[in-house]
Structures are given as structure tokens and as C-alpha cells.
A and B are shown apart, each in its own frame.
Chain A
Amino acid sequence: MARYKTKGLDCWNKAKELRDRYYKDYKESHDRGGLRWEGGAWSFDAIPQALEGEVHGLSEEPYGASIGHIPELQVRYQEAAEGKWGCARDLCSYMRAYWGSVALNEYAFGGAWPHADFIFQNQICCCHSKWLQVADEIGGGTTPYFCFDVGAGPYDKIGDRQIDYVVGQLYDGIEFIEKVTNRKVIDEKLIQNVYNTYRSNCYWAKTCELNQAIPAPLDEKTMFSLYVLGTLEKSNQAIADFYEKELYPEVKDRVADKIAAVADEQCRVLGDSQPPWGFLRIYRYLEQYGIVSMANLYTFSLIGWMMVDKKGDIVPCPTLEEQGITIKDRDHALRLLAEGELKGKLMWAPFYGATYKNDLVTKIAKQWRCDAAIIHLNRGCEGTAQHQMQLKIALQGMGIPVMTFEGNMADEREFDEGRVMRLIELFVTETLGLKKVA
């Protein structure tokens, strides 16, 4: 008999529906007189989404991940990009998949590639800042392109000067998109979008915090399909409502009722970096041994805003409503937006050194009560793969068994499934000493 009760999420279909609507809206936006823009998961979408009229964005990384999830499509797109540019395989594999999609004039969700009216992007790694510029060259490179820098420092070094630096660029960005679209940024929309951004990011962080419970109410494979909404359009009212009013309360209830993601949970695993999207079945395989992969700096803080409190623990950031903050005007909104991202997005910190990654991930391992770690040495993302072997040493120093496997988030040619399964079996049966529960 299973150790815990388990069941699927009631809000699962709503999450799917929101995602489907996002990609459909982007495609159909022009038909309805709306604007289209391209950006990334970290693009401060609250700003372009505040333009007057109907506006829809396309977020590059989740689009690349969607391609990565379909092995046949990913290889065709990768090869199309390589055929056009001869790009090296160590470039971001989301980016290469995206480029291939554009080069083939195919939208993965049906029809021809829907060109954007403008690009609004930011710079945290080198691929992010060049990605859409190169993609746009296929169409002649005429799409207006604004890129701002968020490399202002790690979360614990953010003060007024760093916030001013980003806010100054955001003002430039507003001026730019107003000029190229001939539409105004509406302050009421901007302010609402910032409230929504806080709600999306903070409630996702609160949801992740609930995974400290034993049994874990969510497994990572499920979380991948949930955090994606925030990477698409965190400023969206429906998405913010989903995180605050549907997902969080439901997961809270699961904790109270001891409803587990994995009914036979006996081993809690920490992950790192993005998964190999075409091979998520490895997570289901782990479940046969009662293993639940349930914590990951990337999964938590790709969108979740978290902070390190006075005790040194990682805790969710509060929403603006919880802080009793009422946004007064555009400047206030932009400052809060920049502050939230710069201070709350902990996963930007590893870009400033291994010490940050080790510190944050070892805290997660401790607070989320992880028994072991399985680290995906992700050849498709140099940013998130930084410091992984140093992290292995840090985790082992805490007494946590760690295995690593090589792969690629969106290029199946870099993933040897048979070999990885051999390694996982070895780790699970020998190092962890687990037996199949079913």
C-alpha cells in the first residue's frame, strides 16, 4: 500500500489553457489589430504589455523549451539553424531551436512564423542580448530592437544606485517602444501589471516554499508546467490570479491533507539547471524508487522572487499588497519592478560567482530537506550550468550524495538516454541503496 495519498492538480487544465491561449494570442494578435513583441522570460513584460490597445508577447526561452520537448522538432530546428549560420553546438540550445523555427518560417504552434513589431529584451547572459537580433536578420533585421542591461549585481549588493541604473534604461525603453509603435504606455496598465508581476512571482515562490513539506506536494516535472506561465507573461492578470487564487491555495490544501506528488516518497532529490526537455520520463522512472525531485534553484527562482532573511533562510518575497504598498505613479512602478527583479531573482546571483550558487543551493538542500542531488550538466545553457561541479563538492560536503549526468535541455543529440539511465540506476540502487517500491 502506498505511503501517502496522491492525485493530480485540480488547476492543471487551467494552467494548460493559459499556456495555449498565450501562444494563440501571439499568433492571432495582428488579426485583431494588436501588437506583437518578442522578448524573454526575464524581459520585464509589464512595460510592453502596458502599451495601449491589444498587445501580445512571445517569450523566447519557453518557446525554445516547447521545441525541446518534441525530439523530432528540436533536431529539425537545430539543424536548420546550423545549416543557415553554422552555429556552434555550445550556443544556447533554446536559441538555436528558436532560430531554426524562424529560419524554416514555422511557428511550433501552427502556421508561418509570426513576426514581431518590436523586440524588448534584457541582458543577463550574452545569448539573451543577441538572440533576437540574429533571429530578426532573417527578415532583413528591420524589427526595432531595445535591449537593457540588468547586470547590476547580485541580490545582496542592490541599492539605490543599481536600481537607478536599471530604471533609467526602462525610461529609455518606454520612449523607444512608444516611438516605434506610435502607441502610448498607459500608466494605469503599467501599475496594474507591476502588481500582477509581484503576485505571480511571489505566489510562485510561496508555492515552492510549500514543497518543504513531507511529503512534497509537487514534483519538479509538474512544476515545469506551472512555472512556465510566469516565464510567458507574469504581468498578466489571469496568470497572476492563477498563481495566487488557484495554484497556491490548492497546494496549501495538499500539504494540509498530506497529498503527495509521489505516493511512495522515500527520497527527496534536488535538481539543478533546466531538464533535458525531450526526456522528462527520467523523472517518472525515479518515482518507481519512491524518489521525488522537488527542489531546484532554477525551478524556484526562474520566476519566483525570494530573499535571504535575517536568519539566513531563503523565504518568499511578500507581494506589494502584503507590504501595504500602493503604487503612486510611473516612477514608483518602475522602481518597484526593478527592485523586485534585482533583489528577488536569486538565480541571477550565480552569474556573479560560485559562492552565491553554493550558498543558495546548500540552503535549499537544507530547508527543503533533500536526501540526494541529481545534477544535469546542461550543455545547452552555459549560464545555468555555471559552477555545477563546485556545487557538487559543496553538497557532498553536507553529506548529500550527488550524481551528475551530461545532457542538453533542447538538443537531444547531446543526450545519451541509455547511458544516463545506467548512471541513474547505479546511483539509485548502489549509492542511495533504494529498491523499487512498485
Chain B
Amino acid sequence: MIVAGIDVGGKNAHVVILKDGNIVAQGAAATGIQKAEAAERLYKETLHKAGLKQDNVGRVVATGSAGKRVAFADGVIADAAADARGVNRLFPSARTVIDVGAEEGRAIKVSPEGKVLDFAINEKCAAGTGTFVEAMARALEITVEEMATLSLKSNNSIPMNAQCAVFGESEVVSLIHQNVEKQDIAKAVHDAIAGRIASVARIVGLEKDVVVIGGMARNAGFIHSLKKEIGMDIIVPDDPDFIGALGAAEAAAAGVLERKVEAKS
């Protein structure tokens, strides 16, 4: 059976197509404001890449903050539930999942079966998310990728406020004016986010194995800071930002349609 999982988040959409349990295609794209249209476009492109048509797909499950907007989906599951399923497929030993995306950072305590036992989410705050790093990279006039690489070269620790993205940016500008090396500022940003995310994770309790997913998991500088902050090893999947979509596809394969899609546009 062919099934699809679609994760529509704050900035990007991800699609994973499974055929008899195996990944046959995956795709990602920025969504912009027209999330539903962007998700549908991405879905069709991903199917086309795999030589498939929509009619070939038996079931589609959406997830993510805009998952409900995917009108062609057969059902929607909560993003943390998709994360848990996706991680459980790859790492059944995982007990703590940390998902840091563009707009949200969350920690999930999962059972051996991939069930969500507890969760905590950073509330109404861009600090501790991918958007925060992007803003800081802009202030440093470097790319996010450069920021990750640069921060790994630093051995200095500079305390920084990660409670507020706006004040965080002011602080970065102050550090630039003080002629602090960019690599040290980059590390300070990652340390600050790691501290913030770790405090969210401690709410659910950090238990081995810890798996970090979401777009921020691609940032080696952040992962380095987070490992140090929590004092534990971290597993990062090969495609950490596809895990939500993978979990949604797993749910589709299992016939989980927790709720119907509610909006068409």
C-alpha cells in the first residue's frame, strides 16, 4: 500500500511517501503564507518524482501547525504524535524527542511503543527556535550554515539572553560593537538556545535515548551546545526535518485518522 505523510510547519512543508513501509520519495519546500497551496504543490511534485499519481496513494495524513489546512488529506494527527511515531520507527530505544523547528521548540517523552507520554512546548516565544537563529544570523550578516560552522570553532562562553528574540538581536548587535569574534557570538547564540530548549526538555524529564529532530537538528553548532547543556549524547537522524512527515505517513499506514481536515484553504 502507498501512503503519504505531510508536515506543514511554520515555514516549511515536508512530504514522505511510503510504499509497503519503505520510503520511496520525500520532498521539502518553503510554504510562505499560502500554506495549503504550497503543501499541495509539494505533494504533487514529490509524487511525480517517484513516478506516482495521486490515485496510487491509499491514504494521506497531515500534521504540523498548519496540518488542518491540507484539504486533500484523509486525516490529521498532532505534530508531537507524528514526531513520536517517526522517531519510534527509526529509533525504538528513544525515550525523549526534542523537536526544534522554525516556530516552536518542544520536548516529548515517548513510550517504547511510540506513544506520547508527556510533552512540553516553548510558549509564545521565538527564542529557542529556528527563527531565532535566522534573526541572529541576519544580525551577524552570515548564513545559518556559516553560523553553525563558525560556532564550532569557538571555545569561549559568552552569556546571552535567549528569553526574547528581539532583545537577543540587540544583544548580538552590542557584541558586534564590542568587537567580539563572530564565531564567539555564534556560539553564544547556540548556547542560549540550547539552554532554553534544555529547560523545556527538563519539564518532561530527560531520559535516554535522546533524539533531536526538526530543522535545527541540522545545525551542528546547536547540537554541540545542546549536548553540553544536557550532558547526554544526542542522536540526530539523517533527515531530521522529515521526521514529522514520516510519522504522519506511519500513521496513514496504520490507518490512524484522528480527526478530519477542517479547512480547505
Q: Do A and B come from one complex?
A: yes
Interface residues, chain A, CB within 8 Å of chain B?
389, 392, 396, 401-404, 406, 416, 422-423, 425-427, 429-431, 433
Chain B residues whose CB sits within 8 angstroms of the CB of A402 once the complex forms: 118
Chain A: minimal CB distance from B263 (Å): 11
Chain A residues whose CB sits within 8 angstroms of the CB of B172 once the complex forms: none
Chain B residues whose CB sits within 8 angstroms of the CB of A404 once the complex forms: 120
B116 contact from A416, A422, A431, Cβ within 8 A: A431
Q: How many residues of chain B get a CB closer than 8 Å to chain A's CBs? A: 19
Chain A: minimal CB distance from B18 (Å): 21
B80 at the interface (CB under 8 A from A): yes
* Cβ-defined contact, B78 with A425, below 8 A: yes
Q: Which 3 A-B pairs have the closest CB atoms?
A: A426-B78, A430-B116, A406-B123
Chain A residues whose CB sits within 8 angstroms of the CB of B79 once the complex forms: 422, 426
**Given A406-B123, A406-B124, A422-B78, is A429 in contact with B117 using a C-beta cutoff of 8 Å?**
no
Minimum CB distance partner of A405 in chain B: B123
B65 at the interface (CB under 8 A from A): yes
Chain A: minimal CB distance from B4 (Å): 21
> What separation, in Å, do the CA atoms of A425 and B68 have in the docked complex?
13
B84 at the interface (CB under 8 A from A): yes
> What separation, in Å, do the CA atoms of A396 and B116 have in the docked complex?
14
* Cβ-defined contact, A426 with B203, below 8 A: no
Chain A residues whose CB sits within 8 angstroms of the CB of B124 once the complex forms: 406, 416
**Given A389-B203, A406-B124, A416-B124, is A426 in contact with B116 using a C-beta cutoff of 8 Å?**
yes
* Cβ-defined contact, B118 with A429, below 8 A: no
* Cβ-defined contact, B203 with A429, below 8 A: no
Chain B: minimal CB distance from A374 (Å): 13
* Cβ-defined contact, B118 with A430, below 8 A: no
Known: A426-B79, A426-B81, A429-B258. 9 other contacts (CB 8 A): A403-B119, A422-B78, A422-B79, A423-B119, A425-B258, A426-B80, A426-B119, A429-B259, A430-B80
Chain B residues whose CB sits within 8 angstroms of the CB of A403 once the complex forms: 119
* Cβ-defined contact, A430 with B203, below 8 A: no
Chain A residues whose CB sits within 8 angstroms of the CB of B119 once the complex forms: 403, 423, 426-427, 431
Chain B: minimal CB distance from A100 (Å): 23
* Cβ-defined contact, A431 with B123, below 8 A: no
Chain A: minimal CB distance from B198 (Å): 15
> What separation, in Å, do the CA atoms of A433 and B258 have in the docked complex?
11
Chain A residues whose CB sits within 8 angstroms of the CB of B80 once the complex forms: 426, 430
* Cβ-defined contact, B65 with A430, below 8 A: no
Which of A389, A392, A431, A433 has its CB near the most chain B CB atoms (within 10 A)? Answer: A431
Chain B: minimal CB distance from A353 (Å): 21
Chain B: minimal CB distance from A398 (Å): 14
Chain B residues whose CB sits within 8 angstroms of the CB of A401 once the complex forms: 117-118
* Cβ-defined contact, A396 with B118, below 8 A: yes
* Cβ-defined contact, A423 with B121, below 8 A: yes
Which of A406, A422, A430 has its CB near the most chain B CB atoms (within 10 A)? Answer: A430
Could you list 22 A-B pairs, sorted by A, with CB under 8 Å?
A396-B118, A401-B118, A406-B124, A416-B124, A422-B78, A422-B79, A425-B78, A425-B259, A426-B78, A426-B79, A426-B80, A427-B119, A429-B77, A429-B78, A429-B81, A430-B81, A430-B84, A430-B115, A430-B116, A431-B115, A431-B118, A433-B115
